Amino acid sequence: MKNVIVFPATRAIPAAAEGSDTTDLAVVIPTYNEHDNVETLIAALDTALGGIRYELIFVDDWSQDGTADLVRSIARTRSDIRCISRFGRRGLSSAVIEGMLSTSADIVAVIDADMQHDESRLGAMFDLVMRGEADVAVGSRYREGGGCGEWSARRVQISRAATRLAQLALPNPITDPMSGFFVIRRDIVVELAPRLSQKGFKILLDLLMSAPKPLRVSEVSYVFRTREAGVSKLSTAVMFTCLIMLLKKAVGRWIPMRLAAFLTVGLLGLGVHLGVLRLALLAGWSFTVAQAMAVTVAIAFNFSLNNAFTYRDRRLKGFRILAGLASFYAVCAVGAAANVGMGSLVYAAGHRWWLAGAAGAVAGSIWNFAMSSWFTWRRR
Ligand code: GDD
Ligand code: MN
């Protein structure tokens, strides 16, 4: 199914009808073993959110320290607090997504349970989204007035490096794309949810990267505080998993993975091609014959690698390998004709042997990609 997503640029959230008790803001709080922070956080949020009709949604992944029980016991006396308790699953991103999808409030906020995010900035962030000035309001450590508090030098370094990388992948020029503290319109989350990866903990980054049209982002600075109680759950390993996922996503956004693989194989094939061409020329063959030999070897080489990697999911086995190789040659024969023709042309024009060889290979490989995915590795 094709998703057509249109985010009206200036639509503000409609004001709640007079006298209705609509909730304006849902604050999603992911928790894993945060028992000792729950009451402090609720008190802090109650103070910070005065004047806003809000609800607090804790999403707990079966903490062993009684976090969920505590939240439920508080929720017995407060209808604006509830606990989504998940069993047999772990994951910050998926917890946050589930929390955000579980509310009918038009605007949702995400904040850590450990008091590291400055809840007093929430009101300003909410206003930006409520007034329609931004689709997302992000709490930023790296904007003027923000800070990382008492982080170790190593953690600051890792965070900085990850931030730079994320900035490269994003259309939005924002200072803290790795922030776990933000306010966003719920309809945007609902639209984007099927595209989100659920893995890792960079939910904001995932949202920004999954939007078909850049979201309008505003940043509000804050100083990252020291953890109130308990320990951090984000190991370096988690961060690396997350970075790999993001890289994949960043690349996949511009070039389909399969084409990227085909091109990489093609590049290696070009190396093989040029090597054979060089040897054949040294052996005294004419350029046209040498180029034809190089093409023949390179095709066999590319076929094996593409069959093993690029089309791993449609991999040809047994006798099909021979049939596939034959069809790949057939497909490439036309490509090879273009290849040799183009190469000879460039060579005849007086250019260097390697430029001529490469020009031929490029012309041939464009044809090869299109045709081989239709014939050789046809979806069955
Ligand atoms: N439900 C659920 N499931 N919650 C989780 C899980 C999980 O698997 N892992 C962590 N949490 C909760 C924690 O209980 C806490 O409330 C919040 O998510 C953040 O976890 P921390 O372990 O405190 O992360 P951090 O302080 O190292 O990193 C935070 O700050 C970074 C910098 O802004 C997170 O907010 C990161 O997303 C953020 O990049
Ligand atoms: Mn934390």
pLDDT recorded at residue 327: 92
Distance, CA of 108 to CA of 54 (rounded, Å): 9
Distance, CA of 242 to CA of 209 (rounded, Å): 14
pLDDT recorded at residue 301: 94
Q: Please give the residue that has the higher pLDDT: either 83 or 4.
A: 83
Mutate-to-test residue for ligand 1 from 61, 156, 233, 243, highest number of ligand atoms within 8 A of CB = 233
The Cβ of residue 351 has, within 10 Å, a number of other Cβ atoms equal to 14
Distance, CA of 99 to CA of 110 (rounded, Å): 9
pLDDT recorded at residue 7: 52
Average pLDDT estimate for 158-177: 82
pLDDT band at 84 (very low <50, low <70, confident <90, very high): very high
Mutate-to-test residue for ligand 1 from 27, 29, 32, highest number of ligand atoms within 8 A of CB = 32
CATH architecture of the domain 15-231 equals Alpha-Beta Complex (3.90)
Instruction: Name which of 52, 63, 175, 161 is nearest 109 in CA terms.
Output: 52
Average pLDDT along the chain: 87
Instruction: Tell me how far the alpha carbon of residue 112 lies from the centroid of ligand 1, in angstroms.
Output: 6
Q: Residue 122 pLDDT more than 80?
A: yes
Which ligand is in closest contact with the Cα of 239? 1
For residue 33, which atom of ligand 1 is closest to its CA?
14
Taking phi first (over 0 means left), then psi (-120 to 50 degrees means alpha), and beta for anything else, what does residue 51 get? left
pLDDT recorded at residue 241: 61
Instruction: Tell me how far the alpha carbon of residue 197 lies from the centroid of ligand 2, in angstroms.
Output: 21
Pocket of ligand 1 (CB under 6 A): 30-32, 34, 59-61, 90-92, 95, 112-114, 116, 178-180, 201, 232-234
pLDDT band at 323 (very low <50, low <70, confident <90, very high): very high
Instruction: Tell me how far the alpha carbon of residue 192 lies from the centroid of ligand 2, in angstroms.
Output: 26
Question: Per-residue pLDDT tens for 3-52?
Answer: 445 455 444 555 555 556 789 999 999 999 999 999 999 999 999 999 99
pLDDT recorded at residue 366: 78
**Closest residue CA from atom 34 of ligand 1:** 180
Domain boundaries, the chain: 15-231, 255-374
Q: Please give the residue that has the higher pLDDT: either 243 or 138.
A: 138
For residue 37, which atom of ligand 1 is closest to its CA?
16
**Closest residue CA from atom 6 of ligand 1:** 92
Q: Residue 238 pLDDT more than 80?
A: no
CB 183 within 8 A of CB 144: no
pLDDT recorded at residue 20: 64
pLDDT recorded at residue 9: 47
Instruction: Tell me how far the alpha carbon of residue 205 lies from the centroid of ligand 1, in angstroms.
Output: 14
Instruction: Tell me how far the alpha carbon of residue 246 lies from the centroid of ligand 1, in angstroms.
Output: 18
CA torsion, ordered 247, 249, 253, 259, to nearest 10 deg: 80
- Quote the tokens at residue 184: 């966003």
Instruction: Tell me how far the alpha carbon of residue 112 lies from the centroid of ligand 2, in angstroms.
Output: 6
Instruction: Name which of 249, 185, 198, 177 is nearest 7 in CA terms.
Output: 185
pLDDT recorded at residue 1: 39
Which ligand is in closest contact with the Cα of 30? 1
Distance, CA of 193 to CA of 77 (rounded, Å): 32
59-63, 149-153, 329-333: which range is least confident on average? 149-153
Backbone angles phi, psi at 239, to 5 degrees: -65, -40
Mutate-to-test residue for ligand 1 from 45, 57, 60, 92, highest number of ligand atoms within 8 A of CB = 92
Q: Please give the residue that has the higher pLDDT: either 135 or 209.
A: 135
CA torsion through residues 219, 220, 226, 227, sign: negative
Distance, CA of 292 to CA of 287 (rounded, Å): 8
pTM here? 0.67
Share of the chain above pLDDT 70, in %: 88
Q: For residue 25, what are the β-bridge partners?
A: 54, 107
Average pLDDT estimate for 342-346: 89
pLDDT band at 169 (very low <50, low <70, confident <90, very high): confident
How far apart, in Å, are the Cα atoms of 93 and each of 203, 223, 236, 360? Answer: 5, 22, 16, 47
Q: Please give the residue that has the higher pLDDT: either 160 or 54.
A: 54
Instruction: Tell me how far the alpha carbon of residue 289 lies from the centroid of ligand 1, in angstroms.
Output: 63
Distance, CA of 117 to CA of 206 (rounded, Å): 20
pLDDT recorded at residue 368: 83
Question: Per-residue pLDDT tens for 241-288?
Answer: 666 666 666 666 556 777 778 888 988 998 999 999 999 999 999 999
pLDDT recorded at residue 11: 47
Share of the chain above pLDDT 90, in %: 52
pLDDT recorded at residue 3: 46
**In the 3-class helix/strand/coil scheme, how is 33-51 assigned residue by residue?**
CCHHHHHHHHHHHHHHCCC
